[in-house]
Structure 1
Amino acid sequence: MAGTGSIFLFFFLSLLSFSAISEASKCSAQEFPVVRNISELPQNNYGRGGLAHTTVAGSLLLGLKEVEVWLQTFSPGSGTPIHRHSCEEVFVVLRGSGTMYLAPSSHEKYPGKPEEFFIFANSTFHIPVNDVHQVRNTNEHEDLQVLVVISRPPIKVFIYENWSMPHTAAKLKFPYDWDEECLELEPPPKDEL
């Protein structure tokens, strides 16, 4: 009987150790396989209803300094807030459809009425630095899934309540890190530029 208890204790401690290693490894580049299937990566909503996000490759996860790649899934009716940021951004629509709203930067005091662009599976679009925009799943029947590439992480994001909100009133979020749980394990790399 003592042997069975020892085996159970060993098994239980092994599970605890594996759980701690798994938790730490999601923030460690050394634990990532070279090739991964993005459909198998876990997604989190980070407290934002209708959104599922995972960082495929990033500054906090892999120590990347020039780019970050995200996989995001928006349920019908959901989307990003109206915002702008201090980086370039490229989207590739993997599935679904929706609308991208874009108010090109100008010398106006507020974004103004945006242009609307229909986005669909296999389409791609880019957002220039500091152009106010929003991506929404306007399809009532299916999720919108996009692969997003941003430059120069971590980024400064300015969030707007509406399209007529003055630029000076937009709420700044910096750094904008999706993987904040990784900050506890390792500070972000310093920008050399």
Structure 2
Amino acid sequence: MIAIHAAATHAIETPNGNHGTSLATPRLGATEVTVVRQRQTPGGSNPTHVHSREEVMVLLSGQVTVSSGEERIDLFPRDTLIVPAQTPHRVDNTGTVDAEWLIISPAGMQFFRDTGEEASPPWIK
């Protein structure tokens, strides 16, 4: 078993008001699943992107809108969203406070920008 104590974790700031904290990733010893805590400031956004594998998002606090094409889904605390692999989507904090959520995905998931370029956020490693 591997224990990852909260005191040993830290948020990594990325553009557009985002912060990611690795909770269970390959670097931390996870081999089958990746779990990341994401925080986004009011007005912040994750630009349109896709993943190579399915992503599960569990909103812990705040309010976000997840967009995919013309579809818009508002999420509130305790809501869960399942994003199928290869689904272009973006996340916008549409509330007035920081939004926090968990990203849960299979280990080895890849991120791609809408340009097709692979993105490698440091908190996913």
Same fold (TM over 0.5): yes
Q: Work out the number of aligned pairs and report it.
A: 125
Of structures 1 and 2, the one with the larger relative CO (CA 8 A, separation 6+) is: 2
Larger Rg: 1
Conserved 8 A contact 1:81-1:134:
yes
Q: Judging by fraction of residues, say which structure has more strand.
A: 2
1:125 matches 2:81:
yes
Name stretches of at least 5 consecutive residues in structure 2 with no aligned partner. Answer: none
Shift of 1:142: 0.4
TM-score (structure 1 length as normaliser): 0.58
1:43 is aligned with what amino acid? A
Give 1:65-144 correspondences, 5 Å limit. Answer: 65-102=31-68, 113-139=69-95, 141-144=96-99
Percent identity of equivalent pairs: 26
Deviating beyond 6 angstroms after TM superposition, the runs of 4 or more aligned structure 1 residues are: none
Name stretches of at least 5 consecutive residues in structure 1 with no aligned partner. Answer: 1-28, 103-112, 161-169, 183-193
Shift of 1:136: 1.0
Partner of 2:122: 178
Conserved 8 A contact 2:16-2:45:
no
Partner of 1:165: none
Q: 1:61 to 1:117 in 2, by over 3 A?
A: same
Conserved 8 A contact 1:156-1:172:
no
Partner of 1:50: 17
